[in-house]
Structure 1
Amino acid sequence: MKHEKKRDSWGSKWGFILACIGSAVGMGNIWLFPARVSKYGGATFLIPYLIFVVIIGSTGVIGEMAFGRATRSGPVHAFGEATKLRFGTDKPGKLLGLIPVLGSLALAIGYSVVTGWIFKYTAQSITGALSALDGVDAFSANFGATASGNLGWQIAGMAVTIAIMAFGVGRGIEKANKVMTPLFFLLFIGLAVYLVTLPGSSAGYQYIFVLRPEGLLDPWVWVYALGQAFFSLSIAGNGTLIYGSYLSPDSDIPSDAKMVALFDTCAALLAALVIIPAMAVAGQQLNESGPGLMFIYLPNVIRGIPGGPVILVVFFVAVVFAALTSLVNLFEAPTATLQELFHLPRPAAVGIIGAIGIGVGLLIAPIVSQWMDVCSIYICPIGALLAAVMFFWICGKDYVLKQVNLARHKPLGSWFYPMAKYLFCGVTLLVLVLGAVFGSIG
């Protein structure tokens, strides 16, 4: 099961880890996690969230990384190799592999619209135009498809993404993540430290860390904790798998997966430690989530607290880094697939995917919310489930254990394979069903 075509590769272990962390740290950490912590009881929400992070990080993340490395390819060839191993033909696997690839492209296109808004708000925070806005209505008018000037920023975000990707994995994606991912954490840590000094912030910290055990009896706490953990770790059968395909055989994948899950969780907690105390300083309740929180309510609150204009600059610069690292990851699977299927040079593949991203992105900007809902409710869980079934069920136990334990001094315990095959696949199916029945849970 080897894809022989020479592939680009990571230059270092930490380059790969930072790229995976960058792909996982996205808007879900920033505009959704703090709101759910606020709504579902602070530490009460953290307990089930951490449980699901451990389950998914120690099975699904490891599986997608190992599957990519084993086949040295993206989802199309990886799924094809799995069905060839079991059934003697790669055609069904290749067809199924197109699902997570197209899903990654669709999600990336929707994400490019959001990235355009972030570029716009970052520029406005630097010039002071954002701080000059007054009231929720003013921020609403500044935001969304009906606001003027968003399309240019959307194209600018895509241009930066295309430029990073055109340089390749080692010289482009890795180097960009080595700069942007650490800066994201440093900027958010700086914001969190500053907010500690402001009067009223202690109420926010108290809320985050106070446990209300009765809240654990609420099934919705567990449902939304599952959705938050699942989507935050970027399990979708595409991005993590394709990044894993650039790994060398001497990489300890379970160790790398642990670091990715740890830092993704830290990013989510940092966002909560910034946003919830900021609302407390302003004497506001965190009752909003999603794009409205980040582009309407939060900026309106931040501009009125001490140091607000500077906080807005730091906040949106950090969010730009999170958006770009995630967007690069989402576009990588379709780009690599074009290279694999049509033997295109990387600049040509990046150019084609970038043109599709810009063209379709401009068209779907007015309906991006509905577009993203379809991706998160259906396409991402289906891609993750297909990848899990292909690796853990179709490839078989011996193959799986050989790949995940490659380069490890101590093999994973006997718990790993049944936990991955049954519990993780079951959890992924549950995410799909719950999302279809109740709407987006992530």
Structure 2
Amino acid sequence: MAREKFSSRFGFILISAGCAIGLGNVWRFPYVVGQYGGALFVLIYLLFLILLGAPIMTMEFAVGRASQKSAVSALTTLKPGQKIWKGVGYFQAAGNYMLMMFYTTVGGWMLAYFLKMIKGEFNGITPTQVGDIFNQSLQDPFMQVFWMIVVVALGFGVCSLGLQNGVEKMTKIMMSSLFVIILILVVRAITLPGGGEGLAFYLIPNLDSIARYGVLEVIFAAMGQAFFTLSLGIGAIAIFGSYIGKERRLLGETMSVCTLDTLVALMSGLIIFPACFAFGVNPESGPGLVFITLPSIFNEMWMGQLWGSLFFVFMSFAAMSTIIAVFENIISFGIDLFGWTRKKSVFVNLVLILFLSLPCALGFNVLSGFHPFGAGTYIQDLEDFFVTYNFLPLGSLAYLIFCTSRYGWGFENFLEEANTGQGIHFPKWTKVYLKYILPCIIIFIFIQGYWTFFMK
């Protein structure tokens, strides 16, 4: 059976960007930017995006395009007969399932909040009451499971329509709408009275942060954010390389995806900081920002119900674009490994993901007695820990070794694939950096992640 292809380069770039653009762009990026020195942090982050993210993403695209397979069998297709690469493929596949075990529940929160915003449930209530709504919704097992099922059904429903008619078409609509909505929200936020202070905090380099945290901590934070923002290491990006032709060199395509991902992250800050400063609110990190702080701000804003509804459409599209992209990867596992039809792989994986997503959805209520990392932590924290601190860095390290070592595909083969077509040339002189230096950086990020998580 001939492998499906994207109908356009635009579709390929948008869906790859959709996979990379996730909720971390909104609820983590603005916070760490503000914490670590504003524009100065952004410049360091962009440098590491080029040094860390771009090479590994290009490798994922190259492995996907050369093998014409998904993560589970791509490495063994290019390097047959070595069991270690088969094991790595299964490890990366497991990362996709683990990510969806909690991401589907969080995606459900976005859809639920969009509906709450439209219905006006936040109108005229205090920030404490907004917080109560969020906490009560977490404690309601029926609501948690219901919205998780809606997200899973929507995601697999889109994927069941095929690559071009389902995944590509819907992602084009969602991502195009996402950029329009975010532009409208940026204009609204920066024109708020007092919003200028938030802009200054966000955009003017703040050397006090360097003095407070030290140069090394700021660099490590930028390095970590650049590394984790692109969802690299689990083959979620590689699958889209397998759906494109050989017309374009891959580094240029990578830079397009990185640019879109960074734009969304930067523009999220242009919404959040002016809004928080205009209403004297701390721009915290994590779910509290999105589900408590921002609804309280929209509540005080003129036409806040409209702006709030638009914001949660934006957040829903950011979540669903990632979910659909990873579901497409998961569906391709069944097609590549067992020769299933798309419809059969959709059905089997829909049932499997529904089952695997239940612990997270029930982790805040029925299973709330389980605290994997101590009081105040839940099943979601455990699943997120596995993905963020294990699957992403170790999977990325595997791609690096595979594409630079003679025990894998090798640098010459990678370079030939990456530089097939027109566009930006991937430089040969980067071999020493990619083979010896970048793996050490990733190992450092891996160790630093564990140290930060367990020691701080």
TM-score, normalised with respect to structure 1: 0.93
Aligned in 2, Cα 1:439/1:372: closer, same or farther, shift over 3 Å? same
Q: Which amino acid counterpart does residue 376 of structure 1 have in structure 2?
A: T
Alpha carbons 2:35, 2:209 under 8 Å: kept: no
- Counterparts of 1:116 and 1:133 in 2: how far apart (Å)? 23
- Counterparts of 1:420 and 1:131 in 2: how far apart (Å)? 53
Pairing 1:385–2:378 present: no
- Counterparts of 1:169 and 1:425 in 2: how far apart (Å)? 34
**One of 239, 244, 247 as aligned partner of 1:242:** 239
Pairing 1:93–2:105 present: no
Alpha carbons 2:248, 2:423 under 8 Å: kept: no
**One of 199, 209, 212 as aligned partner of 2:206:** 212
Equivalent in the alignment of 1:162: 156
- Counterparts of 2:342 and 2:61 in 1: how far apart (Å)? 22
Aligned in 2, Cα 1:343/1:132: closer, same or farther, shift over 3 Å? farther
- Counterparts of 1:123 and 1:6 in 2: how far apart (Å)? 41
Equivalent in the alignment of 1:145: 138
Equivalent in the alignment of 1:195: 189
Equivalent in the alignment of 1:369: 381
Which stretch of the first structure deviates more once superposed, 55-64 or 22-31?
A: 55-64
**One of 221, 229, 233 as aligned partner of 1:232:** 229
Aligned in 2, Cα 1:140/1:236: closer, same or farther, shift over 3 Å? farther
- In the TM superposition, what are the counterparts of 1:60-139 in structure 2 within 5 Å? 60-84=56-80, 89-139=81-131
Q: How big is the shift at 1:137? A: 4.5
Equivalent in the alignment of 1:430: 444
Alpha carbons 1:136, 1:297 under 8 Å: kept: no
- Counterparts of 1:105 and 1:325 in 2: how far apart (Å)? 16
- In the TM superposition, what are the counterparts of 1:203-352 in structure 2 within 5 Å? 203-213=197-207, 215-216=209-210, 217-286=214-283, 288-352=284-348
Alpha carbons 2:100, 2:323 under 8 Å: kept: yes
Equivalent in the alignment of 1:404: 418
Structure 1 runs of 4+ off > 4 angstroms?
A: none
Q: How big is the shift at 1:133? A: 4.2
Alpha carbons 1:82, 1:391 under 8 Å: kept: no
- Counterparts of 1:429 and 1:137 in 2: how far apart (Å)? 44
Alpha carbons 1:74, 1:337 under 8 Å: kept: yes
Alpha carbons 2:54, 2:254 under 8 Å: kept: yes
- Counterparts of 2:164 and 2:431 in 1: how far apart (Å)? 32
Give SS of 2:59's match: helix
The one-character-per-residue Cα deviations of 1:43-65 (angstroms, maximum 9, x if unpaired) are 12212211111113431111110
- In the TM superposition, what are the counterparts of 1:167-178 in structure 2 within 5 Å? 167-178=161-172
Alpha carbons 2:64, 2:241 under 8 Å: kept: yes
Q: How big is the shift at 1:331? A: 2.1
Q: How big is the shift at 1:247? A: 1.3
Q: How big is the shift at 1:132? A: 4.8
- Counterparts of 2:165 and 2:417 in 1: how far apart (Å)? 27
- Counterparts of 1:149 and 1:200 in 2: how far apart (Å)? 37
Equivalent in the alignment of 2:433: 419
Aligned length: 432
- Counterparts of 2:422 and 2:437 in 1: how far apart (Å)? 23
Give SS of 2:122's match: helix
Q: How big is the shift at 1:277? A: 0.7
Which stretch of the first structure deviates more once superposed, 411-420 or 303-312?
A: 411-420
- Counterparts of 2:192 and 2:288 in 1: how far apart (Å)? 25
- Counterparts of 1:159 and 1:72 in 2: how far apart (Å)? 27
The one-character-per-residue Cα deviations of 1:373-418 (angstroms, maximum 9, x if unpaired) are 2221112211121122112222112211101101136643333333
Q: How big is the shift at 1:307? A: 2.6
Pairing 1:357–2:353 present: yes
Aligned in 2, Cα 1:332/1:433: closer, same or farther, shift over 3 Å? farther
Give SS of 2:354's match: helix
- Counterparts of 1:410 and 1:362 in 2: how far apart (Å)? 44
Q: Percent identity?
A: 28
Alpha carbons 2:53, 2:227 under 8 Å: kept: no
Q: Which amino acid counterpart does residue 358 of structure 1 have in structure 2?
A: L
Give SS of 1:381's match: helix
Give SS of 1:239's match: coil
Pairing 1:10–2:6 present: yes
Q: Which amino acid counterpart does residue 418 of structure 1 have in structure 2?
A: V
- Counterparts of 1:40 and 1:145 in 2: how far apart (Å)? 31
- Counterparts of 1:440 and 1:203 in 2: how far apart (Å)? 35
Alpha carbons 1:57, 1:257 under 8 Å: kept: no
TM-score, normalised with respect to structure 2: 0.90
Q: Structure 2: any 5+ residue segments left out of the alignment?
A: 364-378
Superposition RMSD in Å = 1.9
Q: How big is the shift at 1:71? A: 0.6
Alpha carbons 1:377, 1:440 under 8 Å: kept: no
Give SS of 2:123's match: helix
Q: Which amino acid counterpart does residue 290 of structure 1 have in structure 2?
A: G
Q: Which amino acid counterpart does residue 420 of structure 1 have in structure 2?
A: L
Q: How big is the shift at 1:91? A: 3.0
- Counterparts of 1:354 and 1:99 in 2: how far apart (Å)? 20
